[in-house]
Amino acid sequence: MADRTSYLAANWKMHKTTEEAERFLAEFLLRVANSGPEVVICPPFTSLNVTVELCFQSPVRVAAQNMHEAEQGAFTGEVSAPMLLDLGVDGVILGHSERRQHFAETDEALARKVPAALGAGLEPILCVGENEAQRDGDRTEEVLTRQIQADLADVPDARLSEVVIAYEPIWAIGTGRTATPEQAQEAIALIRSLIDARSDTAATAIRILYGGSVKPDNAAELISQPDVDGALVGGASLDPDDFAAIVEAAG
Ligand code: PEP
């Protein structure tokens, strides 16, 4: 791997009350070293506040799972970047496949959300990935190219390296069916080449993660691939021991 600090993000999805978040952090924070991979917890909105408070003065940072691109307005049920910053949140997952699939998140919206997050000072974690039919139909390259080009279209080249990208093949999310290390490497190398077409400096610096059924026993092999800079972890991040083991595997 080039000189890029590994990055491990826990996507809790719609799991954990504030009390459950507190219990997780009481155990997990004891196991996180001050040096090593960057670690980011992404709780649901309702547990952001307690997570920010408990991670204060720890090396662990906090990201939300979605945001609206506008600063404020008549958007019932939405949350803006300034609201997340107000809580002390550091970043935000954007374009997770569950949002694309169940909440009609589009590349057009992401083309607005990613620069809005960056402009506000939040680190975007942009998720991309193909579904099973697209992989079986040999369309992985086409899908990743379209998503990366569209979603990052309005990010200036000079700021591309501030985005974290997560390659998450949809067929591997929550299914227990992990991509092979070779499949993860191939897709992530393709994504890096798409960034390189815009800026070779950004391509060298940008962190690109793998996500999809990462567990303590497969994390090390996936993350040791030359272009894989870490992982976005769903199910296994709900257990403090499992997520700590994944962080240790990346270290
Ligand atoms: C995810 O939700 O981003 C994810 C990768 O989930 P899982 O690890 O459960 O497949």
Q: What pLDDT digit, counting tens, does each position of 78-91 carry?
A: 999 999 999 999 99
CB proximity list for 126: less than 8 A, separation 6 or greater = 94, 95, 110, 114, 151, 152, 163, 164, 165, 166
Length of the chain equals: 251
Q: Quick one: average pLDDT of 200-215?
A: 97
**What percent of the chain has pLDDT above 90?**
96
pLDDT band at 1; cut points 50, 70, 90:
very low
Output the pLDDT for position 2. 63
Give the integer Cα–Cα distance in Å for 33 and 7.
14
Q: Reply yes or no on whether 96 is catalytic.
A: yes
Q: Which atom of ligand 1 is nearest to the CA of 235?
A: 9
Q: Do 59 and 96 meet the contact criterion of CB atoms below 8 Å apart?
A: no
Give the integer Cα–Cα distance in Å for 244 and 222.
16
Output the pLDDT for position 34. 80
Evaluate: CB of 214 within 6 angstroms of ligand 1: yes
Closest residue by CA, ligand 1 atom 7: 234
Q: Quick one: average pLDDT of 173-183?
A: 94
Closest residue by CA, ligand 1 atom 1: 234
Per-residue pLDDT of 123-170, as tens digits, reads 999 999 999 999 999 999 999 999 999 999 999 999 999 999 999 999
Q: How far is CA 174 from CA 13, 76, 101, 134, in A?
A: 11, 29, 14, 18
- 26: its two tokens: 């009481």
Q: What is the pTM of this model?
A: 0.97
